[in-house]
Structure 1
Amino acid sequence: MPDRLRAPSGRYAGKSAEERKAERRRRFLDAALELFGAGPGYRSTTVAALSEAAGLSTRQFYEEFRNLEDVLAVLHLQVNDRAEAAVLAAAARTAHTPLPERADAVFRAYAADVTGDPRRIRIAFVEIIGVSPRMEEQRLARRAQWVELICAEARAAAARGEAAPRDHRLAATGFIGSVNGLLHDWSAGWVEATLDEVVDELVRQLVSILRPPAWVPRRG
């Protein structure tokens, strides 16, 4: 007897509808990373150009995103989340090492991830700036997460007697500004230094924030 009432499987070419949707989204984001991060940049990219680069249609684009700003927002968070994962992994590996060694390992993990692909630097430090109030709110909110991460590390170090017990929020905010500015300038070729020299300088700044000259380490 014919199987007249069999429900459709929802699979095409061996993939479910959800898998195909995820693949389309990935293709749009991969294409956007190239166009926004390598050229011509977010402001000079159109939905048609992005769709063509992804090998998909504009209709499919609007099934995944409302506009190009949505794509930029996702990429910005992805870049930051990836870097944070690298930082947290380095922090876990160095949980029982002295503060200077730990700070060095953690920050080198961050710098290696962010600078490992120049497109990610441009997304995080250039393309996101001045796009819209919404993007500025997202940028500042994500920066606040980095500040809180530094403050949490500082509180833990202070509890161990390895850092000065104070509110580090203002200093951490200033440090994040230094990181963004120096890594951007280095990637743009405006700083005559190696990445190791840039990282060394930033690690010195971080340690000096946690251990100001007047502070005396607590002896166990």
Structure 2
Amino acid sequence: MAGRLKGPTGRYGGKSAAERQAERRRRFLDAGLELFGGSPGYRGTTVAALSEAAGLSTRQFYEEFRTLEDVLAELHLQVNSWAEDAVRAAFATADALPLVERVTAIFRAYARNVTADPRRIRITFVEIVGVSHRLEAQRLARRARWIDLIVSEATAAAVRGEAVDRDYRLPATAFIGSVNGLLHDWSAGWVEAGLDEVVDELVRQLLGILRPVGEWPVREG
């Protein structure tokens, strides 16, 4: 299909055309979260099935999106944005804490947000992978954004004397790989541990990056 169909204009039922469009779009995205993040998954979902789950018509779908991939792309960005908002809020409240407590609070906020809904994990770590060149580029771009955030905060910690002064790009990339892999395996039931244990392990890895063995300050006296 060359492009989306035009939606209706004017007020109806006390709502403007823009309000009705936003509501329809939200219903399609909610249905996408349910079907892509649950059963049957993105690859098993059709436009007709998604429209039925949203309680809307396929014509209304094409008024909002061109393809199912567009829905998955928007959901992936949304899930990442929710997690990033949680992390930035944690940064603000934990700013004055010592390094270990600050890192733990921030990472716990991320993990709790991502794992609060198993469908979010599947969207982020499973369904998005290998769909198309476009979505691979989006996935890698979002991963790079998380890496940039870690590098920025680690560098700031180094300036404050809390962390080793080093180039954090490579270790941050490796850490994100650990986060993605461990949270995916935990959500799939392949790791016999509670979420707190998973978070504690990842925090230990991050602290090991910030202060490798032999680099912790020697306490005198």
Distance 1:193 1:58, change over 3 A: same
Paired residues for 1:60-209 under 5 Å: 60-209=60-209
Q: Are the equivalent residues in 2 in contact too, given 1:162–1:218 (CA < 8 A)?
A: no
Do the aligned residues in 2 keep the contact of 1:151 with 1:169 (CA within 8 Å)?
yes
Matching residue's letter, 1:122: R
| Cα distance in 1 for residues equivalent to 2:92 and 2:210 | 19
Match of 1:212 in 2: 212
1:11 corresponds in structure 2 to: 11
- The offset of 1:217, in angstroms, is 4.2
Displacement of 1:216 after TM fit? 4.6
Q: Letter of the aligned partner of 2:20 in structure 1?
A: R
CA-CA distance at 1:212 after TM superposition? 1.0
Amino acid at match of 1:176: I
| Secondary structure, aligned partner of 1:153 | helix
How far does residue 218 in structure 1 lie from its aligned partner after superposition? 10
CA RMSD of aligned residues (A): 1.4
Amino acid paired to 1:123: I
Read off the aligned partner of 1:150 and give its amino acid letter.
I
- % identical aligned pairs: 75
Deviation at 1:215, TM superposition (A): 2.1
Give the equivalent residue in structure 1 for 2:6.
none
Match for residue 37 of structure 1? 37
Residue identity matched to 1:35? L
The residue aligned with 2:25 is: 25
Which 4+ residue blocks in structure 1 deviate beyond 4 angstroms? 216-219
TM-score, normalisation: structure 2? 0.93
Counterpart in the other structure of 1:52: 52
Larger radius of gyration: 1
Residues in 2 aligned to 1:167 and 1:218: alpha-carbon distance in whole angstroms:
23
Contact 1:147 1:173 in 2 (8 A): yes
Cα pair distance change 1:144/1:211, threshold 3 Å: same
* Unmatched runs of 5 consecutive residues or more in structure 2: 1-8
CA contact (8 A) 1:161 1:217 kept: no
User: In structure 1, what is the Cα distance between the partners aligned to 2:51 and 2:218?
Assistant: 59
Residue 10 of structure 1: how far off its partner (Å): 2.1
